[in-house]
Each structure stands twice: as C-alpha cells, then as structure tokens.
Structure 1
Amino acid sequence: MNLRNSEIDPIFYQDASSLAAMIRRKDISPVEVVKAHQDRIEELNPAINAIVTVADTALEEAKKAEAAVLRGGDLGPFHGVPFTVKDSIDTANILTQRGSPIFRGRIPSIDATSVARMKQAGAILLAKTNLPEFSYWIESDNLLSGRSNNPWDLSRTPGGSSGGESAAIAAGMSPIGLGTDLAISVRGPAAQTGIVSLKATHGRVPMTGIWPRVPRRFWHVGPMARSIRDLSLAFNVLSGADGLDAFSSISSAMIPEASNKSNRKLRVGWMVGPGFGPVDPEVAAIVEAAADALKSLGMVVEAVSIPALELDFALDVFNRLHVMEMKEAFREATTGRSQEEIYKMAKTMLSIPDTSMKDFIDAEQAAERLRDGFAGYFQKYDVLLTHVLPLPAQKHGIEEFLINGQKVDATYLQGATVPLNITGLPGIAMRFGTSSEGLPIAVQIVGSWHDELTILHVASLLESVSPVVGLHPNL
C-alpha cells in the first residue's frame, strides 16, 4: 500500500505534500482538511492524549486559505495544510504551557521562528501536543496534561520529549508537526510510533521562541511527518538564520546544493555497536536489512565501527555536560513554587549533584574527540546507517531494561541518538521494520554537517523500497 495514494488513504492519513497538492488542484478544500483532522482528534484523543490544546483559529484560517485558492495566485508549499506543534514551542495567542502547572495559562504574544515560518508557507496551526515536564524525559507525561499513549499499543509510550507530536501524526490527528530534540526527542518518538523525523545540523533551524534555551548547543527543533518528501519540504521552509538565535548563523544559500557525490556511488557504513550500548537482536536485524536494501539500490555499503564512540561513551559525556545548565533552568522555573506543581523529572534533575569542573572539562574534551571521530568517518563515507532505539516502544513507566542480556537504565535508550546532539550532526529517523509484537522498528540515517541533502536523498530511496510504507495503527 502506498501512503500517498489518495484513492486508498483517507484525508487524515495523507501526507502533507499530497494534501497541499490536492488543495492547489482544488480537489479538496482547506476547510475539509482541517475538519477531517479536528474530527479525528475528537474521536481518538481521549484515548491517546496527544493533543493538549486545539487552536480555535484553525477553521477561520482554513476559510481564508480556501478563499486564497479560489482567487488564484501564488500559494505557499504548505498552503491550507494543518500542522501541530509541541507545547514547548511558542504559538502566538495560543496556550504554550510547557508540560507544567507552573506555566498553566501561559499565552505567548509572538510565534517561535519555526512556527512563523510554517505559517508563512501557508500551513494552518491546528493544535499543540503533549510532552514531558519541561521537555525533559523519554516519556511524555506531566502533572498538567497527563500521559500520552502510543497509537500502536496504548499500554506503551510514544516516547519523549516530542511524544505527543509523534502520537498525533501516527494516529492521523495531524499530517505534520514540529518537535524539539535535546538527546533523542524527535527521532526516538518517531521511531516508537512509525513516522519520520529530521534533526538537522545544529543551528540550521533557529531555536528562537522555544524553552528551555539551555544547553542550547545541544537543542534542536525539527519536523515530524509521514514521508521523507514532507521532511525535505519542511526543512526548506524551516532552515536559515533568523538574526535572533546566534547558533543559527548559516543560511540555506550558503550551503551548496550539490557536490561531487553526484557522479559516484554513495558510500554507506552501517553499525549497531559497539559504542551505542546494547541493542535488541530484532532491531539489529532491521538495520542490517536496511543496509542490504541500500546495497541493492547501487550504493557501496559496509559494516563499520567508529573508534571514537568506543573511547568516549557519548551518553556519559552528555550527562556530564548538560546537568548544570539544565538544573539552573529548572531551578529558576521552580523557585518559590509548591512541590505539588513539580513532577518527578524536575525533582530528579534538581537532586543530581553538580558536575565537578574537572569532569566538565574532561567531558568537553571528550565531546571534541567525538566530533573529530565523526569528521574522520565522513572523510571515507557519505552516510552512517544505524538504529534509533535499542528496542521497540516500551511499556509505560519502565525505568530498567534487559537488552540483549545486559541490564541498563532507561537513559540507555538515547545511546545511538545523543552522539548527534553532542556533535551537531544531522539525522533522520524512519521506520523500516516491525517487531514480533507488531511494533514499529526504525533506522537512523546520519550525515556530515550541513549535508541534509544527502541523507534526505538516501532516506527517500530507502523509503521507496520500504516494506512498511503505508502501515497505520489499527484504530
């Protein structure tokens, strides 16, 4: 089944590119599209709890978009297409409560840069989506709006911290949306719910209007969607400096559109370890299957290792680097507030001892070694193919796992994703298989800095031979 076949899939399972094309052709109106998704939210959200606020402006904006189509003229790439936004990202005149009673009722006056750019491209804000308290955990649960459930199995998590966003898209409540990623948070949830997501090179998409701002050298905002072509379109809309986020200093025009890769075979290395922590055999098998698929498409594909990942375990490096800055943000937000307003992850973070200056400096040097290690890898290869998560979506509340015979805590779910946050490398998460329990299994396609075009191209080719394109939860 092809996900983009409008004769097969209902409106709420079309990708954003298809919806935009149908709207431009006047096959369907923006009002119909918005109403179809609103109806889907009304039907499914009570069980999934992905949506925390519905934008009361969506239908009115859809009517304006319909009138613009009828008038003719230029339309944006997402004209009339609804989109959702993680509730840590500011939306003008729409609640942005950051998953905490501390921010209950907070209404920003200005859109985040990423939201503004989606609107400028013609997209219509449909709703805000759930997240963990302060966007900080691998499960989307908080005291203000509760826990989100995975559409594939309500007893399991859709991940965090962009879990509400991933669940909404997977369930057909939204065609495309925006999440944020500190260590795992657009790629992990996408993997757990069977959608796609892009964490671009650090700084490619401005973080303006998103909280917390620290440690900003690790934070990213990125698109989550149904298809690779949607990620590509959204990346073009979202990327580029805004003059406000100093890390976002490179415009799209400064990045060459093509390179000498066009006249040679792409070189792909694949690995599931060592250096990422333990991996479930089912997940490892899907990564190898994806590698075989890329080889069948004419690429040079080899099993590889990256020694820098074995020398410095990225998850440990990340933990030593980010704690003090995150603690300060959490402390500022919670000072003077009742303990009843603070959930478990903020309390846990505030209880962690500060990193010593020696450990912090050692970790900074380790981060540099990781960057150097990846730089050396990309001298030989164009792409790294690996897993996103070491196992499929877990049951709610589990904090310890037995993975391939090794007992680890829940933070190990970030083993293959956090290296990209430390180094700033771009990565795509996309489903390529199914577990024995019927849950999505995804692969991660990693590229060199500012080379999103290559990984989007490779992901598109892999999508074209994927055995799972068009699969949806049985809702």
Structure 2
Amino acid sequence: MTADLVHRDATELAELIRTGEVSSVEVVQAHLDRIEATNPRLNAIVTLADGALDAAKAADEERARGAAVGPLHGVPFTVKDGFDTAGVLTQRGSPIFAGRVPDTDATGVARLKGAGGILLAKTNLPEFSYWVESDNLLTGRTNNPWDLDRSSGGSSGGESAAIAAGMSPLGLGSDLSISVRGPAADTGIAALKPTHGRIPMTGFWPRAPRRDWHAGPMARTVRDLALAYSLLAGPDGADGYSVVPREFDAGLGVSPDRAVRVGWLVDSGLGPVDAEVAATVRAAADALQGAGARVEAVDIPALQRDNALDLFARQHVMELKPAVRETVAGHEDQMFTYSKTLLATPDTSVEDYVRAEQGLERLRDGFAEYFQQHDVLLLPVTTIPAHVHQLGQFELGGRTVGPFHVSSTTVPFSLTGLPALSMRFGTSGDGMPIGVQLVSTWHAESTILHVASLLETLSQVRDRHPTL
C-alpha cells in the first residue's frame, strides 16, 4: 500500500491515518520519496519544509493517545511560494527575495495546519506570481508531468504539477486571472477559486491589486476541494476584503425541489477556442443534461460588449506598474520577463482606466442578470490544452493571439470576483488533459462543488495521473 499512498486523495489519507490503517509517517515518507524520484524532472517543489517527518511522528503519537484530531490530521500539503510559511523559505520566485524566511504563516497555511495538516514543501511560481507559466530567474521552470516539453501553467504551476505527479495530495494556490484554474486544467487536477474575499489573503505577496487576488485549494478530487475550502474560508480580522462569515452560502447545495439550471458557452465574446476544448465543454453539458440538469446553450451580452482581457490589461497596468517599479528599484538586473514587459508597457491614461472600471461594472451587472435565470455557467477553463514552454503568439481559429489569450475564459471571473471551479473532463488527441470550468453566483460555492461532484462521477477519463 505504501507506494500507492501518493495516489490517494487527502480525504482518504486522513481516514486511513485516523483509523490507524497507515501512519502519518508512512504517508509523509511516501510523498518525500515521490518528490525525490520525480521532482528533478519537473522542478515543481522548490523548498522542502524542515520537520515534516517529526510532525508526522507527533501526529501518530497524538492519535495513539486518543487525542482529538482535525480533518487533515497527519496529511501532508504543499503551498505556493507566494504564501508566507513560518521558518520556511518564501522567495516569491525572484532573486530579490532569495533567502527570505518569514516569522509567521499566512492565514491559509495556518488554517490547514490547524486542521492537522503537515506542511511538506513550497512550490514553484512565476516571478511575483505574475504570468501564465511558472518560470523565474531564481528557481527556474516547472515542467508538465504529462509532457515535459509543455507548461504546467501559471501562476500556481508548481502546485498543479506537484499534485498531478503525486508529490502532494493537496495544495494552496493563488489566482489573479487564471492562476489556480489554468494550471489545474493543464495538469488534469481540480482547483477552486472561491468568491473574492472568501479566503483571506493575509500573508500572501504581492497584494496589488488586492481586489482581484484570490486564494484557493488545489487537489485531485472535488471532495478534497470541498474539504479544504471548508477549512480555509472565513474572515481572519486582518484582510478587509474577507468579511462574509464562513457559514454563509448562497448556493443550492443539493436541492430535491428542482433541477440545476446550467448554461454553457464556448465563445460569447471570449475569442477563439481550441476545437477539442470546445468539444469537451459540449460533452460535459450533454452529461449534465443526461443526469437530469436543465441545460441550454447561452450567450452573455456583457461578455460580448466588454472584452475582459482588455479591461484587465488597462486596469492592471495602472495598478501594477507602481508596485513592481517600487519592488525592483535597485535590482533591475534581477528582473525576469514579466516585470520587464510590464515596465516597458505604456501607462494607462486616467480616462482609459475609468472606462475600464465602467466596463467592469457592466460585466458584474451582466453576470448578476445571468444568474437570475441560471445556477451555473459551464465553459472552457483555458482556450487551449497545456501549451509548449515560452508560448508566444499562436494561431487559433484562424486568428493570431497573444500568450495571455489562454486566460480569456478565466479573467472575467477574477475581475468580478465570482466563484469558479476547474476540473478535468476530457483528453486531447495527443494525450493532454482538458478541463471545464464551472461558475456560480457570488458566495454560492456549494452549487459548483455539487455540480462538479456530479460531473466527476460522469467523467469517462481513465488516466487519472501521469506515468513518470
């Protein structure tokens, strides 16, 4: 069983440890062995946390004494290297922060530890968590476990690769525009970006722009996402955007009174989408309809009126440039690709910034109208399956698009703060995972978790993890 432990999900591992069928030491050691065997090819893990085995021994002793245990008692987890971890390197993907060791844990890390989880390692990311591929000057590039020549996504690409490859059962990532959902789709795992503010960002860097940064769990199963979300959500008294009580949920949950109303789309102003990605969304729609959901193809006029990628670019140039310029001052020779590109980008005028803000308000209104008639929106996670490293402009649907086009399907929900979930539902002709994205109205995480769980049971995907 020991070798198989790296492919069990966190929920099962917690139960096996609780009942004494396996020990926490066995579980942690199995994942450390997997890291040693696999990480040299992937470069997903950038720092091992000292004391994981000691913590596992203590967890086993507590269980043997009959002490009360938390829902993650003795289970290892990993964390993206943008979150502070007490006594463990947190270098944020940049030589500017090389050797940095925080004194305290980020709120999300502290909550997973408080549930009995054991911090195993930190995972790779782009410089400052800003880009669609996890690569930087300090810790290098992460490879996709399904194909080493392809990206595992960004900015939580180290986390996605580690979980997909069995080096970790559960992780904590961050999402600004695509950063837990896209990497999850690229590597065939699942990820949840909750409503903005649901999980405090205290102890995460960078904070600009605070109104768009989200924290979210990443895992191989939907039930693990639900478990982690239940532990991570709720105010911490430090993040002013995190104010809604954890217990509040606006979702359906499982309702026997009526069928879930699902709208699906593959375009509606989002730009070209790969044919296999579009077919996977249609297959998910058909599967949900066959399972009793009310399903229909939809258009969302607000997405067609205001291009979310354009709004994102205008807003973020205005807000990010000053923060990046301040961070790299005196260290310009240590900047990587994104910082250089951002600082070379012309400033957004005040007029364009205001117009972008007004467009964002129209997007929010458009989604509010949509969710009056539907419970869930089903659409692609990324516009293409996992791409080659250092993606530049590429051809899609007869158009030339830039590398950030992979996120045209995720950005609208970061800008508006809507909860969105990514999960695998298909496979490309060349063997790469393809995901679908589920979105619900604000604070209705239970709805998309319910529908995702249903889709998981309907999935025909056979190869659940890559062979390395």
TM-score by length of 2: 0.98
1:395 to 384, 388, 391: 388
1:193-272 pair list within 5 angstroms: 193-255=187-249, 261-272=255-266
Q: Partner of 2:151: helix, strand, or coil?
A: coil
Q: Partner of 2:149: helix, strand, or coil?
A: coil
In 2, Cα distance between equivalents of 1:471 and 1:107: 36
In 1, Cα distance between equivalents of 2:255 and 2:169: 32
In 2, Cα distance between equivalents of 1:470 and 1:447: 28
Q: Partner of 1:17: helix, strand, or coil?
A: helix
Q: Does 1:97 align with 2:112?
A: no
In 2, Cα distance between equivalents of 1:214 and 1:354: 16
Deviation sequence 1:108-134 (CA, Å, 0-9, x none)? 001000000000010000000000001
Given that residues 463 and 469 in structure 1 are in contact (C-alpha distance below 8 angstroms), is that contact kept between their aligned partners in structure 2? Answer: no
Specify the code of the residue in structure 2 equivalent to 1:113: T
1:105-120 pair list within 5 angstroms: 105-120=99-114
Deviation sequence 1:337-373 (CA, Å, 0-9, x none)? 141x111111111111111000000000000000000
In 1, Cα distance between equivalents of 2:446 and 2:439: 11
Given that residues 94 and 137 in structure 2 are in contact (C-alpha distance below 8 angstroms), is that contact kept between their aligned partners in structure 1? Answer: yes
Specify the code of the residue in structure 1 equivalent to 2:104: I
Over 3 Å counting, the alpha-carbon distance change for 1:55 and 1:170 in structure 2 is same
Other-structure match for 1:130: 124
Other-structure match for 1:472: 465
Specify the code of the residue in structure 1 equivalent to 2:268: P
Other-structure match for 2:53: 59
In 1, Cα distance between equivalents of 2:47 and 2:459: 34
Q: Measure how far apart 1:324 and its partner are.
A: 2.0
Q: Measure how far apart 1:325 and its partner are.
A: 1.7
Q: Measure how far apart 1:331 and its partner are.
A: 1.1
TM-score by length of 1: 0.97
Other-structure match for 1:292: 286
In 1, Cα distance between equivalents of 2:156 and 2:73: 24
1:413-452 pair list within 5 angstroms: 413-452=406-445
Structure 2: runs of 5+ lacking an equivalent: none
Q: Measure how far apart 1:259 and its partner are.
A: 7.1
Other-structure match for 1:353: 346
Given that residues 206 and 241 in structure 1 are in contact (C-alpha distance below 8 angstroms), is that contact kept between their aligned partners in structure 2? Answer: yes
**Which stretch of the first structure deviates more once superposed, 140-149 or 397-406?**
397-406
In 2, Cα distance between equivalents of 1:465 and 1:164: 28
Over 3 Å counting, the alpha-carbon distance change for 1:451 and 1:333 in structure 2 is same
Structure 1 stretches of 4+ with a deviation exceeding 6 A read: none
Q: Measure how far apart 1:255 and its partner are.
A: 3.2
Q: Does 1:157 align with 2:151?
A: yes
Q: Measure how far apart 1:274 and its partner are.
A: 2.1
Q: Does 1:383 align with 2:376?
A: yes
In 2, Cα distance between equivalents of 1:258 and 1:412: 32
- What do you get for the CA RMSD once the two structures are aligned? 1.3
Deviation sequence 1:152-209 (CA, Å, 0-9, x none)? 0000000000000000000000000011000000000000000000000000000000
Given that residues 75 and 122 in structure 1 are in contact (C-alpha distance below 8 angstroms), is that contact kept between their aligned partners in structure 2? Answer: yes
1:10 to 4, 29, 37: 4
Q: Measure how far apart 1:257 and its partner are.
A: 7.2
Q: Measure how far apart 1:273 and its partner are.
A: 0.8
Q: Partner of 1:39: helix, strand, or coil?
A: helix
Q: Measure how far apart 1:74 and its partner are.
A: 1.9
2:399 to 393, 406, 411: 406
Q: Measure how far apart 1:263 and its partner are.
A: 1.0
Q: Does 1:455 align with 2:448?
A: yes
Over 3 Å counting, the alpha-carbon distance change for 1:260 and 1:73 in structure 2 is closer
Structure 1: runs of 5+ lacking an equivalent: 1-5
Other-structure match for 1:278: 272
In 1, Cα distance between equivalents of 2:414 and 2:465: 30
Q: Partner of 1:78: helix, strand, or coil?
A: coil
1:69 to 46, 63, 70: 63
**Which stretch of the first structure deviates more once superposed, 422-431 or 67-76?**
67-76
Other-structure match for 1:324: 318
Identity of aligned residues (%): 60
Specify the code of the residue in structure 2 equivalent to 1:14: R
Specify the code of the residue in structure 1 equivalent to 2:429: S
Given that residues 280 and 404 in structure 1 are in contact (C-alpha distance below 8 angstroms), is that contact kept between their aligned partners in structure 2? Answer: yes
Q: Partner of 1:229: helix, strand, or coil?
A: helix
In 2, Cα distance between equivalents of 1:440 and 1:203: 30
Given that residues 12 and 174 in structure 1 are in contact (C-alpha distance below 8 angstroms), is that contact kept between their aligned partners in structure 2? Answer: yes
1:368 to 340, 361, 365: 361
Given that residues 145 and 161 in structure 2 are in contact (C-alpha distance below 8 angstroms), is that contact kept between their aligned partners in structure 1? Answer: yes
